[in-house]
Amino acid sequence: MNIIERIEDTYSEAFEGIFCRLIVTADDEETLRRAAEDSTATPAIVIGRTEGGIEKWLSEDETPDRRKGVLLQFWGGLDPNKPIEESINKFEKELSYRIRQDILVKPFTAVFDALPKADGKLDMMKWVGHCGDGYEWEETLYGRHVIIVPIMVPDFIIERYIGFARGVMGANFWIMCSTKEAVVEAGVKALRAIHSVEGVITPFDICSAGSKPETKFPWIGPTTNHPYCPSLKERLGKESKVPEGVKYIPEIVINGISMDAVKKAMKTGIEAALNVKGVVRISAGNYGGKLGKYRIYLRELFHETI
C-alpha cells in the first residue's frame, strides 16, 4: 500500500486567528524552560481564551540580549460577528496574563518582539508595564524600545510594542494506531518533523482528546468526538467511524504564520508518522465547514509543491 492509500480522502478544517511571536530570554536554561512551558501551557482557544506553543529554542547569537532564548507563539481567536478591534483587545489582555503570571515572575527574564512584518502593534504598557505601579520606565536597550518593570529581583524587561498578524490555526491530522507504542513513537517523530518547519507550533503536542463543536453540555465547550473513540466502537455500532484494527487515534494540531507553513508542517508530520510500525492510517478532523473557512485536503498535500 503506497503512502496516498494510507491517507484518508478527507480534509482538515482550520480557521483564521491572530498571533504574536515573542523571544523570551533568561540567565539560565532551567528558568528559560519553565518560563516557556508555563506560559504556553493549557491551550484554551476552545473555551474562548488564548493558546501558545514553543516554536524553537534559540542560541545566544539569535537573541537581542545575547542570552539563550526561546521563540514562542501566542494565538487569539477572531470573532467574525464582532469588530476586529474587540478580538485584538481581548487577545492583548489574555496575552498579558501569560506574560505577567508565567514569565515576569521568573528571575532575570526578558521579552522581545519577533514579528517585524506585523499587521499592527500591541502596547505592553497598559497590561504589563504598569505592573511597576507607576515606577516603571522606558529606555532603549539592545536596539529595542523597552519597558523596565521594577520588581523585587531586579528587573523585568519587555519590548513596549509587540507585533500581531493573522495566521492559520486549528489545522490537524489524526494518527490511527493499532498499538499503544505507536501512539508515542509516531507522535514524537511527527512533532520533531513539524518543528523543523519555520513558523509553526503544536499547541497540544500529542493530543489524546479530539473534540467536536456540537455538545450536549454547552457550558463545557467542545466535547469528545465520540464516533472516533475506540472504546465506544462496540457500543455505537454502525455510528462508529473507527476503522478495523485501530485502537488509538491521537491528534496533532498545528497553528502557523501562513498557509504554506501549515501545509508544509502537515505533510512533513504525516510522512514521519507513516514510517512508524503500528500506524494504520492518517485522517483529520473536520466539521462540515462549521469550525473554519479553510479546508486542507490531506491527499493534495502530496501532489502540491509546498
Whether 64 and 183 share a structural domain: no
State the Cα–Cα distance between residues 67 and 37, nearest whole angstrom. 18
Whether 88 and 203 share a structural domain: no
Coil, helix or strand for 36? helix
pTM of the predicted model as reported, rounded to 2 decimal places: 0.94
- Are 7 and 302 within 8 A, CB to CB? yes
- Are 53 and 203 within 8 A, CB to CB? yes
State the Cα–Cα distance between residues 45 and 171, nearest whole angstrom. 13
Domain residues for the domain of 268 are 4-13+168-302
Whether 136 and 192 share a structural domain: no
Using 50, 70 and 90 to split pLDDT, how confident is the model at 214?
Answer: confident
Whether 50 and 122 share a structural domain: yes
Coil, helix or strand for 296? strand
Whether 114 and 207 share a structural domain: no
Q: Work out how many domains the chain is built from and give that number.
A: 2
Q: Which residue has the higher pLDDT, 214 or 96?
A: 96
Torsion over CA of 18, 195, 175 and 34, rounded to 10 degrees? -80
Residue 306 has pLDDT above 60, yes or no: no
Whether 115 and 228 share a structural domain: no
Residue 205 has pLDDT above 90, yes or no: yes
Q: How many CB atoms lie within 10 A of CB 264?
A: 22
The least confident of 93-97, 219-223, 225-229, 276-280 is 219-223
